Chain A
């Protein structure tokens, strides 16, 4: 055994102790959890061999059902059975009514931001519903590997906006899962497909799921997966095909005005069944018992294709835009990969083939490929393959901007900018003596801010009263590697600095999440604080380990005084973590974090200079 193990930042300290990580594809219709065993990623089946967990949650007074058992309740208990919750994530109630039309649930009317659904078990938010699905997937992983899960990667549609991403992350947090990274679904698919097939070049991932559509154009070479452009629609998917068929059936029977919510759900389920069968057959006879009457109707493949054609056409328009944004020619695309359950449809395959002029590939099960990619990435991130060359470089899916005078949106970060990203803009005051300014952050491609998605709104106060145009308001947009945004604003001419961090308007607050954790249905107050204590301890151990490694390696750059005080800080945190409660531990973590900031900056500088010097050396070597 080596006496002193020197590791690079980011790589694990003990490569032989494998950690357990999972990948989760939280789908609109079905969810999947995948893991890695002996270097091979696979989707985890239940006892019957099914990998797909229907994304359905049923609430009754005494229990919460998830998956197949919940789906079975769907047709006769529609109010308490939440399906396609993904469509509700990170959205305001008003927003949902506009986007999704009539929803088969009862909402609490006064909920202005986060929608609250009335169920037999009480009010639930979409984030809570989603966390129930994550819990079920987590249980499956724990049972399969007979071990606790250390970390996870969760996939989201590339076109999820900031609040939808935040809501997904919150759901994982509620389920007690440590999310190392959110990655985009098409990127995850590219990873699984690329590593599996060893193909290189420019690849289009056409991902049509139950509720969302994404298309990404990537460049794959030497283990590097670089997204050049991405496009999509978060409310376009197989569900819309089902709804179109369902509506056609209802219209044909002329029962629009009289059909009940349970009956509508039953017709919808039958519509989906028929759609799936029509992949192999030419027509299906559908039989219903509605409003006391037996009814029958024939759905042919031709009718189906007619109903779906406008939706498929919409996906192709988006493909065109992505090829354009990527600034490459159609002929330079080497492969087209189909992902998502809805690409089983013959019509979709044919459309993709004729649009790109290439036979699309769907070698890996299009329903599992995203989860498998997520599992591969999770295994990498947790540090099980320190020598791997694989790296995902992704982009911002939707432009981010600010509302200007007159309601126009001014873009600060353009869509398809590589993330993480930073952008600073300066603005000034309009009136003499103006002491506050409204900052309204929006996301989307439209010219008018009101047509874009409103992410956050806040007032920058404490601007020194100056003549119009003299103040300098600096607004900083920062998007992290998960695609999550934070915005801060300050006035720079004066020593008075006002600054604020933004949380999405339609998200839950940190407090609400903590409260939900504490009052979570099956968790008593005691268990909740026990878990928070456990989590704080794990985090403290992580912080201690990271700082120790850093000190071991680079401690010599500090003067003795600073080094001593950091070591002292380490000991202190260790002691608090043994004896303190979770609040004390978290405070200790913050304190040590602040104390080590200067050291972190010095190390970063050193690493940068080393890397830049390295560039020069490789240059020289190449020239020799």
Chain B
């Protein structure tokens, strides 16, 4: 924690999972207007260096809080917990993940993949969205085990969407 402020404090928003994104953006842009290095062109080198550290911190804080996955990991950490490197997942969740992965592989093999891929992406995005309300609930009661399991799911689905997009952009290069 640089400058003695956590990311929520930097933007003066409540330290909850369902952070007010509009307020976040507004405060982020307000801070940029004040502190962007362009406003410090005439300052001393020492102040420029300091300023750059601070603005980089503002940027990182904004990126973290405006991203659903990064925000949950960060908030978990603020609550004093960390994710495990190789977690043991619930069997049901594990099976569902294997299934989803197989579904994607099948779509990829189809020469007319486009429609199915779009549908699959929409479904995945819906699943990801619904995790948010579960996370909000788990964070509000402070159930760290539940939070962790939800984040593992969130990680998986986020990665899956990344793969969908990658394939959509370069269908040839993947195979």
A-side residues, CB < 8 A to B, are 8-12, 180-181, 224, 226, 317, 320-321, 324, 380-383, 389, 391-393, 417-423, 478-481, 542-543, 545-547, 550, 593-594, 596-597, 599-601, 603-605, 607-608, 611-612, 615-616, 618-619
**Known contacts A10-B41, A546-B43: does B35 contact A317 (CB below 8 Å)?**
no
**Interface check B140, CB cutoff 8 A:** no
Query: Which residues of chain A come closer than 8 Å to B32, judged between CB atoms?
Result: 224, 391, 393
In the assembled complex, B40 has its CB within 8 A of some CB on chain A: yes
CB within 8 A of A600: which of B10, B44, B55?
B44
Q: Mark B40-63, 1 if CB is under 8 A from A, else 0.
A: 111111110111111111011011
B127 close to chain A: CB less than 8 A: no
Flag if A224 contacts B42 (CB, 8 Å).
no
CB of B157 to closest CB in A, whole Å = 16
Beta-carbon contact of B50 and A601 below 8 Å: yes
Nearest 10 CB-CB pairings of A with B: A422-B56, A600-B46, A10-B39, A481-B37, A546-B44, A600-B47, A418-B59, A604-B50, A420-B56, A597-B46
Chain B: CB-nearest residue to A477: B56
Q: Which of A479, A593, A615, A618 contacts B44 (CB 8 A)?
A: A593
Q: Which residues of A contact B31 (CB under 8 A)?
A: 611
Besides the contacts A10-B39, A594-B46, A596-B46, what 7 more A-B pairs have beta carbons closer than 8 Å?
Answer: A317-B169, A320-B169, A420-B52, A422-B56, A481-B37, A612-B9, A615-B11
Give the shortest distance, in Å, between B58 (CB) and chain A (any CB): 9
Tell me whether B37 and A480 are in contact (CB under 8 A). Answer: yes
Find the A residue at minimum CB distance from B30: A615
> If A601-B50, A615-B27 touch, does A543 touch B56 (CB 8 Å cutoff)?
no
Contact assessment for B57 and A224 in the assembled complex, using a CB-CB cutoff below 8 Å:
no
Whether a CB of chain A sits under 8 angstroms from the CB of B77 is no
Q: Is the CB of B165 closer than 8 A to any CB of chain A?
A: yes
Question: Of A381, A423, A480, A600, which is in contact with the most chain B CB atoms at under 10 Å from its CB?
Answer: A600
Residues of B within 8 A of A8 (CB): 39
Shortest Cβ distance from A615 into B: residue: B12
Please give the distance in Å from B68's CB to the nearest CB on chain A.
12
Asked whether A543 lies within 8 Å of B40 as measured between CB atoms, the reply is no
| Residue among A389, A422, A423, A615 making CB contact with B53, cutoff 8 Å | A422
Q: Which residues of A contact B37 (CB under 8 A)?
A: 420, 480-481
Q: How far, in angstroms, from A317 to B51 measured CA to CA in the complex?
A: 38
Inter-chain contacts of A420 with B (CB < 8 A): 37, 52, 55-56, 59
Do the beta carbons of A324 and B60 come within 8 Å of each other?
Answer: no
Asked if B34 is at the interface of the complex by the 8 Å CB criterion, the answer is: yes
Q: Are A481 and B165 in contact (CB under 8 A)?
A: no
The answer to whether residues A611 and B35 also contact, given A9-B47, A600-B50 and a CB cut-off of 8 A, is yes
Q: List 30 A-B contacts (CB under 8 A).
A: A11-B42, A181-B38, A181-B41, A224-B32, A224-B33, A321-B169, A324-B169, A380-B38, A381-B38, A383-B42, A391-B33, A391-B38, A418-B59, A419-B59, A421-B59, A422-B53, A422-B60, A480-B52, A481-B37, A481-B38, A547-B44, A550-B43, A593-B45, A600-B49, A607-B35, A611-B35, A612-B9, A615-B11, A615-B27, A615-B30
A616 to B43, CA, bound (A): 27
Docked complex Cα distance between A275 and B166 (Å): 35
- Point out the residues of chain A lying under 8 angstroms from B50, CB to CB: 600-601, 604
Is B136 interfacial (CB-CB < 8 Å)?
no
Docked Cα-Cα span, A615 to B52, in Å, equals 21
Of B10, B45, B62, B165, the residue contacting A324 (CB under 8 A) is: B165
Closest to A395 in B: B59
Docked-complex contact B12 and A550, CB < 8 angstroms:
no
Structural contact, B55 and A612, CB atoms closer than 8 A: no
- Are the CB atoms of B43 and A10 closer together than 8 Å? yes
Chain A CB count within 10 A is highest, among B32, B51, B56, for B56
Give Cα A180 to B38, complex, Å.
9
For the complex, give the distance between the alpha carbons of A418 and B10 in Å. Answer: 17
What's the dominant secondary structure at chain B's contact region?
helix
**Are A608 and B56 neighbours in the complex by a CB distance under 8 Å?**
no
Interface assignment of B5: CB less than 8 Å from any CB of chain A: yes
| Interface residue? B36 (CB, 8 A) | yes
Query: In the bound complex, what is the Cα–Cα distance between A417 and B9 (angstroms)?
Result: 21
Q: Which residue of A lies closest to B4 (CB)?
A: A605
Q: How far is the CA of A546 from the CA of B47 in the complex (A)?
A: 9
A193 to chain B, nearest CB (A): 19
Q: How far is the CA of A375 from the CA of B21 in the complex (A)?
A: 35
Residues A612 and B34 in contact in the complex (CB < 8 Å), given A321-B169, A417-B59: no
A321 to B170, CA, bound (A): 10
- B155 vs chain A, min Cβ distance (A): 16
Chain A positions within 8 Å of B44 at CB level: 543, 546-547, 550, 593, 596, 600
B33 touches A10 (CB 8 A): no
Contact of A383 among B11, B41, B47, B49 (CB under 8 A): B41
Contacts of B36 in A (CB 8 A): 391, 393, 481
**Contact between B169 and A608, CB atoms less than 8 A apart:** no
Q: For the complex formed, measure the closest distance between the CB of A299 and the CB atoms of chain B, giving whole angstroms.
A: 32
Say yes or no: A422 contacts B62, CB within 8 Å.
Answer: no
B49 to chain A: which residues have CB within 8 Å? Answer: 600
Q: Which of B12, B27, B44, B51 has the most CB of A within 10 A?
A: B44
Report which of B12, B60, B168 forms a contact with A421, defined as CB distance below 8 A. B60
With a CB–CB cut-off of 8 A, which chain A residues contact B35?
607-608, 611
Q: Does B29 contact A (CB under 8 A)?
A: yes
Which residues on B sit within 8 Å (CB–CB) of A11? 39, 42
Partner of A423, one of B34, B55, B60, B168: B60
- Do residues A392 and B38 form an inter-chain contact, with CB atoms below 8 A? yes
Residue of A381, A543, A546 with most partner-chain B CB within 10 A: A546
The CA-CA distance from A88 to B5 in the complex, in Å, is: 45
CA gap between A418 and B57 in the complex, in Å: 11
Cβ of A12 and Cβ of B42 under 8 Å apart? yes
CA distance A611 to B39 in the complex (A): 14
How distant is A70 from chain B, measured CB to nearest CB, in Å? 34
Chain A contacts for B43, CB-based, 8 A: 9-10, 546, 550
In Å, the complex CA distance between A547 and B62 comes to 31
User: Quick check: B45 and A543 within 8 Å, CB to CB?
Assistant: yes
Please give the distance in Å from A315's CB to the nearest CB on chain B. 14
CB distance from B141 to the nearest CB of A (A): 28
* Residue of chain A at shortest CB distance from B53: A422
Bound Cα distance from A599 to B46, whole angstroms: 9
A223 to chain B, nearest CB (A): 9
Contact pattern, B 114-130, Cβ under 8 Å of A = 1, otherwise 0: 00000000000000000
Between B12, B30, B47, B57, the greatest number of chain A beta carbons within 10 A of the residue's beta carbon is seen for: B47
B123 → chain A closest CB, angstroms? 18
| Residues of A contacting B29 in the complex (Cβ-Cβ under 8 angstroms) | 224, 226
- The docked-state distance in angstroms from the alpha carbon of A11 to that of B43 is 9
Bound CA–CA A348/B165 (angstroms): 26
Residue of A321, A383, A478, A612 ringed by the most chain B CB atoms within 10 A: A612
Nearest A residue to B165 via CB reads: A324
Which of B39, B42, B54, B165 is close to A608, meaning CB atoms less than 8 Å apart?
A: B54
* A10 contact set on B, CB distance < 8 A: 38-43
Contacting residues, chain B, for A619 (C-beta < 8 A): 12
How far, in whole Å, are A199 and B31 apart by their CA atoms in the complex?
24
List the A side residues contacting B42 at CB < 8 Å: 9-12, 383, 542, 545-546
